[in-house]
Structure 1
Amino acid sequence: MPQVPLREESSTNRPLPPELIDYKPKRKVSKVLKQSFFPHIGLALVGILFLAPFAWLVITSLKSIDEIFAIPTVWWPEKLNWANYSGAVETIPFVRYTWNTIVICFFSVLGQLISAPLVAYALARMNFKGRNLIFFVMMGTMILPFQVTMIPVYVMFNNLGMIDTYLPLTLPNFFGAAFYIFMLRQFFLSIPFELTEAAKIDGASEFRIYWQIILPLSRPALYTVALFTFLGAWGDFLGPLIYLNDPDKWTLSVGLRAYIGEHDVEWGMLMAASTLFTVPIIILYFFVQRQFIQGITLTGFK
């Protein structure tokens, strides 16, 4: 009988050459480098640029006065001068100024978290006549800078007898700021209306919907408002300078002027006090950074 020729081995069963076997992992590594490694390197370099001023502030706070003004520049002190920090705390009532600043920040944040969400909820989730007009008028107030309204507002608080108290610095926050109301309104609009409609069918009131549904879903935006308000009150210099006359009521931002004399400046202690002034902001950001980023990225998305 004639022999049947054997079929050639299918190409699918043939072993792959080594160069093809190693091709996929190399491609995967290259993809990881492009999508993860190189972007993170770029972000790290940008982060170093932003970190450089603060690092220079800390290094300068540990130098002696001769090293601060030395030419050529002394990049690292020969001996760490920790006395600048003790002198910074003892030269001015640092603890008192810190407490005054914390009190102002606390009531400022409390006022914004009470007033801004209420106004934003009304403008975003409730239908009433003139809602859009009120919203546009409120947005128009953002055009006016603080310098334009500074004198009329001062005259108003002076007639009310509130000068040299913390009320001019905290009371306006209980009426809401236009920027925070706008940001919360955009976030509230991104929450599905089906949730509130279902709650209304079940008999829930507007305040119950606001308190038990809207606010729990809006924590990232509320964290963002709280952080922005805290930063604004913590670093405010012009407000306390205008309204506070008693040195015992000064805040840290105003108290730092004590290191600037008529003829000289205590640069070492000023840099040390500025470092202590900046550290709480950095610590606070690390605690709320995730909620802060969510509040920024999710605001305005439907």
Structure 2
Amino acid sequence: MSRRKKARIANQILLFILTVVMLYPILWMVSSSLKDSSSVFVDAHSLWPKDWKISNYIEGWQGFGGISFSTFFTNSFIIVTVATIGSIVFSTIIAYGFARLQFRGKTFWFICMMATMMLPFEIIMVPQYIMFNWAGLINTYYPIILPYFFGYPFFVFLIMQFIRTIPRELDEAAYIDGCNKFTIFSRIIVPLVRPAVMTATIFSLYWRWDDFMGPLIYLNDPSKYPVSLALKLFSDPDNVTDWGQMFAMSTASLIPIFIIFLFFQRYIVEGISTTGLKS
């Protein structure tokens, strides 16, 4: 057997092992969602349930206090959709300004924007809460959605780097044809940066769907909870936690994210692979 073939077999074995390691937690969660709550940790080593309990999904979907998981999923879709639209639209506009326009203090504001990428959420959490509390917006979706309508630094940087790969000759030709900056942005730049925009959109959907800290801080009414926060209601320190139903709803919460990744994964590769290249 040649050395190249041995190396290829070794790579395949290594990739298979890494795949099993990464997928095992998900497989364990799906398996636990089909077990009785009392046997989840007793029979934790087995991925094959002894007694299949499909009722975990039916009973778990009924939710708590008359609030079913259809309400929690609806709340998540509202938050994710509006926040994603805001972050993508305004991040694209800001990225176009940094990449193509000249204005006073451009370097300074770009440095300020990049500096915010290094700030952890814990630093801005308290002042941001004070600000929204002063505005009377606690227990609403505004604190969770509104900040993304001012652009998201990572998305601005991602899309801006992609815009820089577009030749400026296209802009100059459009100017000669009588186009203004808005027309160039909407008819030339936006269609050409679609891979980067789709990549940012997918990341935004992932992050907003998984967001736990934001809803935990700002929402007090359980009827407004998203799925990420509703799953916490299964854990009751004063009572017995129904692990089977909790894992069942956790598995259900992965379905939208899995579908998004399945259909749009090529945009992630295309967007990231071309970002950072300059023409």
Give 1:49-198 correspondences, 5 Å limit: 49-70=21-42, 73-92=45-64, 93-198=68-173
Q: Alpha-carbon deviation of 1:62?
A: 0.8
For residue 268 of structure 1, the aligned residue among 244, 254, 260 is 244
Percent of aligned pairs sharing the same letter:
38
Indicate conservation of the 8 Å contact 2:27/2:47, yes or no. no
Tell me, which stretches of 5 or more residues in structure 2 are unaligned? Answer: none
Q: Secondary structure at the match of 2:117?
A: helix
Letter in 1 for 2:39: E
Matches of residues 16-35 of structure 1 in structure 2 within 5 Å? Answer: none
Which residue number in structure 2 is paired with residue 6 of structure 1?
none
Aligned residues: 274
Moved over 6 A (4+): 34-38
Distance 1:282 1:177, change over 3 A: same
Distance 1:163 1:72 in 2: 41
Instruction: Tell me the distance in 1 between the aligned counterparts of 2:41 and 2:102.
Output: 64
Return the TM-score normalized by structure 1: 0.85
Structure 1 residue 174, shift from structure 2 partner: 0.7
Query: Which residue is 2:183 aligned to?
Result: 208
Q: CA deviation at 1:161?
A: 1.4
Asked if structure 1 preserves the Cα contact closer than 8 Å seen for 2:162 and 2:275, the reply is yes
CA RMSD of aligned residues (A): 2.0
CA gap 1:37/1:122 in 2 versus in 1, 3 angstroms: farther
Report the CA distance between 1:111 and its aligned residue: 0.1
Please, which moves more after superposition, 82-91 or 95-104?
Answer: 82-91
Deviations 1:250-293 (A, max 9, x none): 11111112211123211111111110111211111011101111
SS at match of 1:74: coil
Gaps of 5+ in 1: 1-25
Deviating more after overlay: 220-229 vs 95-104: 220-229
CA–CA distance in 2 between the matches of 1:266 and 1:118? 47
